[in-house]
Amino acid sequence: MSMKRRIATMAMTSVAVVALLSYAIAGQGLKIDFTDETVGAEPKSFLSVVGIWRIETDGNNKVLVVDGRQWKEGQASAGIADKARALYGDRYAEFLDRVQAYAYYPYTVAKDVADFRNGEISVRFEGISGRIDQGAGILFNLKTSGDYLAVRANPLENNLVLWKFEKGKRSSVKWIRDTPTATRQWHDLKVTIAGPKVEAYLDGKRYLEHVLPEPVSGRVGLWSKADSHMFFDDYTVTPAD
């Protein structure tokens, strides 16, 4: 076999492997437990857009940590231009402009989920500290415009909120009070999406249900707030059949 033909065959094989991996993610879901990540570094499985996100340890377990104590509000994460390109390719400019103009709330985006529409997103979280906030949220419906939605739990306030971030402004869509969420304990947060319908569960109990004006379609990730110091683990995205 000639060298050119061998290279072409290798390239086609690589494309096929990538396609199979993408298909597996789309059909079977994606689970991230941070086992293969590097302690002290930004996660490889997420792209940190706003705030400081890095891998740390919780006992013998690796976790993703957001640390608002070291973050200046309004500051995008390091290398944001390259991250915007990785997320949106040639369409990165609009997203980059919005992030830099409205970097109010820390969030990070899952690299391998390009367009989530129906299914479940779940994560384990623990509030470590934060005088003003201890926000742990699942971000979804992220657009190139920088607009997104997030369901957020807060151990300081014991509530669950569906937030909308649109054109640089945050507003509450639905607010559920009296959701016991002790600080310095692990909790499970889950969001289920079926077209425009959103449901949110905390520690296995459904607290929130809402129908949006239009179906969900966009990137997903994790969200936090202000001086929150939070641990995250076992991030799972499961598309509907």
Give pLDDT, residue 13. Answer: 30
The CB density around residue 190, as the number of other CB atoms within 10 Å, is 19
- The CA-CA-CA angle for residues 207, 129, 36, to 5°, reads 85
pTM over 0.75: yes
Name which of 174, 162, 49, 60 is nearest 109 in CA terms.
49
As a 3-state breakdown, the chain gives helix, strand, coil percent values, each rounded to 5, of 20, 45, 35
DSSP three-state, residue 153: strand
Return the pLDDT at 12.
32
Q: How many CB atoms lie within 10 A of CB 109?
A: 21
Amino acid at 34: F
**How far from the centroid of its chain's Cα atoms is residue 191's Cα?**
12
pLDDT at site 225: 92
Nearest to 145 by CA among 90, 97, 81: 97
Instruction: Express each pLDDT in 53-65 by its tens digit.
Output: 999 999 999 999 9
The ranges of the chain with pLDDT < 70 are 1-27
Q: What is the pLDDT of residue 241?
A: 77
* pLDDT value for 82: 97
Q: What is the DSSP string of 16-31?
A: HHHHHHHHHHHHH-EE
Nearest alpha-carbon partner for 156 in 63, 67, 106, 228:
228
- Give residue 70's pLDDT: 82
Sorted by sequence, the CB contacts under 8 Å of residue 196 that are 6+ apart come out as 211, 212, 213, 214, 215, 216
pLDDT tens for each residue of 153-189: 999 999 999 999 999 899 999 999 999 999 999 999 9
Among 240, 148, 138, CA closest to 191: 138
Q: Tokens 């920088």 label which residue?
A: 146
Of 19, 194, 224, the C-alpha closest to 123 is 224
| Closest C-alpha among 155, 47, 165 to residue 104 | 165
* Residue whose pair of structure tokens reads 């559920």 in the numeric block: 176
Determine the pLDDT at residue 27.
58
